[in-house]
């Protein structure tokens, strides 16, 4: 589509508010879904150490009983399969100077539909431990209920939850704090920040600008709309490597010659999903206010 047509359209169309993705590219996608919808993540089971019996003379192994090493399998199946199929008749195109041109419509579908839908799905999948049996309990992962976040306790609460993850040996590097816009106000207005000048040295020895969020306590902070998170969810601390977010199909095409339409057809299909890796489930902590 000629760029000059799109430029003319941009001057006339009223666009809805949109935002670039909050989650795209954050999580690992190192596994190969090529040709399949399901992969099986394998991990080796570890076993408790036994006391070496150096005095044993019975002929039994001094290393203890022999145990066959087993592995654990986590099957992950991609389920999110969405599409659009939109027609732009030549009559409408001609009369509106390409304001409904297929290229513009495809871009708008991505900005206003696909990106927010993917973000919301990913964040909810992480919060519920998608792919992990017994998430928040025996399956790993931490769910905190009845969390009260105020400007007085915001930093201590979040840092405390980070410390709980560290006690489970979750790496500090590559953690992300996804926090709702309303909850983030308590961080921006925290007593330790407001009233101390332009900047304040936090407990991690890093700088937080007054009223702004960036990185603190080695966590990258991402503010998201409240309704992107599950109901009553204040924030999530997520280790990037604890989540896998595959995109198997991302088809976008424009059909300029369609047998049933005198005009163009814009089509798109997106097959994607998001999972918590079972062996790394402790890399997810979710805080709710109820």
- How does pLDDT run across 268-280, given as a tens digit for each residue? 999 999 999 999 9
- Does the pLDDT at position 151 exceed 60? yes
* Rounded distance between C-alpha atoms, residue 98 and residue 5, angstroms: 6
Q: At 197, is the pLDDT very low, low, confident or very high (cuts 50, 70, 90)?
A: very low
Question: Which two three-digit tokens encode residue 262?
Answer: 């005198």
The rounded distance, in Å, linking the Cα atoms of 286 and 231 is 12
What pTM was computed for the model?
Answer: 0.81
Domain boundaries, the chain: 1-26+80-290
Based on the number of CB atoms within 10 Å of its own CB, is 100 exposed (0-12), middle (13-18) or buried (19 or more)? buried
Calculate the alpha carbon distances from 149 to 145, 230, 287 in Å.
12, 17, 10
Buried b (16+ CB within 10 A) or exposed e, 112-143: eebbbebbbbbbbbbbbbbbbeebbeeebbbb
Helix (H/G/I), strand (E/B), else coil: 187: helix
pLDDT tens across 34-85, in order?
Answer: 677 888 888 878 889 999 999 888 888 999 989 988 888 898 999 999 999 9
Of 48, 45, 72, whose CA–CA distance to 132 is shortest? 72
Q: How far is CA 257 from the centre of its chain?
A: 38
């Amino acid at each position: 589509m000629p760029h000059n047509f799109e430029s003319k359209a941009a001057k006339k169309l009223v666009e809805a508010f949109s935002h670039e993705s909050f989650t795209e590219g954050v999580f690992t996608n190192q596994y190969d879904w090529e040709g399949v919808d399901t992969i099986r993540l394998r991990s080796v089971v570890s076993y408790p150490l036994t006391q070496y019996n150096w005095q044993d003379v019975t002929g039994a192994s001094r290393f203890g009983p022999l145990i066959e090493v087993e592995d654990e399998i986590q099957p992950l199946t991609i389920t999110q399969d969405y599409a659009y199929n939109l027609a732009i008749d030549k009559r409408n195109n001609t009369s509106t100077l390409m304001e409904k041109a297929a290229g513009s419509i495809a871009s708008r579908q991505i900005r206003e539909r696909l990106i927010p839908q993917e973000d919301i799905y990913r964040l909810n999948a992480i919060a519920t431990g998608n792919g992990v049996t017994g998430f928040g309990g025996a399956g790993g992962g931490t769910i905190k209920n009845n969390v009260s976040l105020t400007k007085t306790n915001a930093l201590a609460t979040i840092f405390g939850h980070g410390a709980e993850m560290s006690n489970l040996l979750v790496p500090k590097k590559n953690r992300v704090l996804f926090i709702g816009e309303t909850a983030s106000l308590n961080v921006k207005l925290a007593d330790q920040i407001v009233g101390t000048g332009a900047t304040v040295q936090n407990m991690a020895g890093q700088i937080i600008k007054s009223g702004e969020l960036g990185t603190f306590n080695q966590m990258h902070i991402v503010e998201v709309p409240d309704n992107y998170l599950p109901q009553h969810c204040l924030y999530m601390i997520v280790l990037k490597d604890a989540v896998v977010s595959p995109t198997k199909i991302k088809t976008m095409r424009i059909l300029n010659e369609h047998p049933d339409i005198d005009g163009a057809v814009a089509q798109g299909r997106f097959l994607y999903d998001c999972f918590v890796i079972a062996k790394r489930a402790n890399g997810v902590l979710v805080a709710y206010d109820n």
